[in-house]
Amino acid sequence: MVEWTETSFVASNGLRIAGKKYQHLSSSSGREVRILAVHGWLDNANSFDSFAANLFTNLSITSPSITLISIDLPGHGHSDPLHRGQTYYLWDFALSIHDVSTSLNWDKFTLIGHSLGGHTSYLFAGTYPEKLESLVIIESIGFVNRLNTANDDAASMRVYMDRRRVLNLEEAGVKAESPRTVYESLDAAARVRMDGVTKVSLEAALCLCTRGCEAVYGGDGEMVVGYKLRTDKRLLMRHFFQWDHTGVVNIMRNISCDKLVVLGSASNLLREGDPLVVERMDALKSRKGGETQVVWVEGGTHHLHLEAETSAVVSNLVKEFLSIGTEDNRGVGLISE
């Protein structure tokens, strides 16, 4: 496994954003590739472990210097949750990208986002197009449209407010906090994660749970008796506000850099030929600037960048897209649009 170091940043709201730093320093190339990677919903920075291992493998003597920062979004992994009383919105995550890149003094960089991280990356890229050299999206066609119909507005708002009130009371200590599930081992937690909304292999689930769980100690404070999720419970609240399709497309059309969109042919969320997929990708191609490549990876699932069977294919696509020279970066099992 490629070596990495733990890193962290202070966000503009004073909270800590944690991450992992991977780096390759070239002695023969004057070029530097700077990459910020953003994981999906309820995942963490470990989501890019397999991708990074392949990205930094077989680099040639002409390869550029590469820095990859994989962050934990607020409320995920080792990052701080938002302040009391707040709800997570997509623009909060986009602001985290702004905060981290500013802390790194990166005027321009490559942004990679998976799933929710992809939705967030589209938003950041359309809002701050001048900051990106290139954009890589994995398993996302843009942030989700408004899910409820107009007739459901009142009912949806009531559900949101009732849930928000319970969490407020728990945070204030007025109401006892509902207990979290304690798993007897990381393996037990991983086996539950395997059967989540987006199913993953045991290996991938263990990778995510290693960073996404924390130890629970017994009465003596020294013996580990189990593991529980670190994830902020507020992330499970359904956002009431959503953009409509026109709003999403308008933001996507403001992205001016080159774009690579990698999708899995075996994903349970997206299907090749689906009208919404086609329309969103057409919006990217009718862009303000830059080229757009869309690649479907044969057999790729929603976490195709993490799964052992397909992570090398994804990293090789990115190497080619970013012109990172390697001894052999030929992709296999691809269906290109």
Mean local confidence (pLDDT), 32-55 = 98
Q: Are residues 187 and 52 in the same domain?
A: no
Q: Are residues 279 and 188 in the same domain?
A: no
Q: Are residues 106 and 14 in the same domain?
A: yes
DSSP reduced 3-state for 138: strand
Among 236, 261, 286, the domain boundary falls at 236
Q: Are residues 129 and 275 in the same domain?
A: yes
Q: 62-76, 198-212, 277-291: which has the minimum mean pLDDT?
A: 277-291
Residue 332 has pLDDT above 50, yes or no: no
Q: Are residues 139 and 248 in the same domain?
A: yes
- CA 328: distance to chain centroid? 27
Q: Are residues 126 and 19 in the same domain?
A: yes
Q: Are residues 124 and 273 in the same domain?
A: yes
Cβ(232)–Cβ(212) under 8 Å? no
For the chain, what percentages of helix, strand and coil (3-state, to nearest 5) are there? 35, 20, 45
What pLDDT sits at residue 329?
44
Smallest CA-to-CA distance from 297 within 272, 326, 322 is with: 272
Residue 331 has pLDDT above 70, yes or no: no
Task: Give the highest mean pLDDT range of 49-63, 143-157, 196-210.
Answer: 196-210
Residue 328 has pLDDT above 70, yes or no: no
What pLDDT sits at residue 150?
56
What pLDDT sits at residue 90?
93
Domain range for 207: 153-236
On whether the pTM is more than 0.85, the answer is yes
DSSP annotation of 59: B
Q: Are residues 141 and 179 in the same domain?
A: no
Tell me the percentage of the chain whose pLDDT exceeds 70.
Answer: 92
95-150 pLDDT, tens digit per residue, is 999 999 999 999 999 999 999 999 999 999 999 999 999 999 999 999 876 555 55
What pLDDT sits at residue 62?
83
Q: Are residues 12 and 91 in the same domain?
A: yes
Please tell me the total count of domains within the chain: 2
164-190 pLDDT, tens digit per residue, is 899 999 988 888 888 899 999 999 999
Among 236, 260, 283, the domain boundary falls at 236
Which residue is listed with tokens 């052992």? 308
Task: Give the highest mean pLDDT range of 62-66, 74-78, 252-256.
Answer: 74-78
Q: Are residues 178 and 288 in the same domain?
A: no
What's the CATH number where 303 sits? 3.40.50.1820
What pLDDT sits at residue 330?
42
Pairing of strands 258-264, 132-138: parallel
What pLDDT sits at residue 27?
67
Q: Are residues 228 and 83 in the same domain?
A: no
Among 236, 268, 286, the domain boundary falls at 236
Q: Are residues 47 and 129 in the same domain?
A: yes
Cβ(220)–Cβ(97) under 8 Å? no
What pLDDT sits at residue 220?
81
Which residue is listed with tokens 């044969």? 298
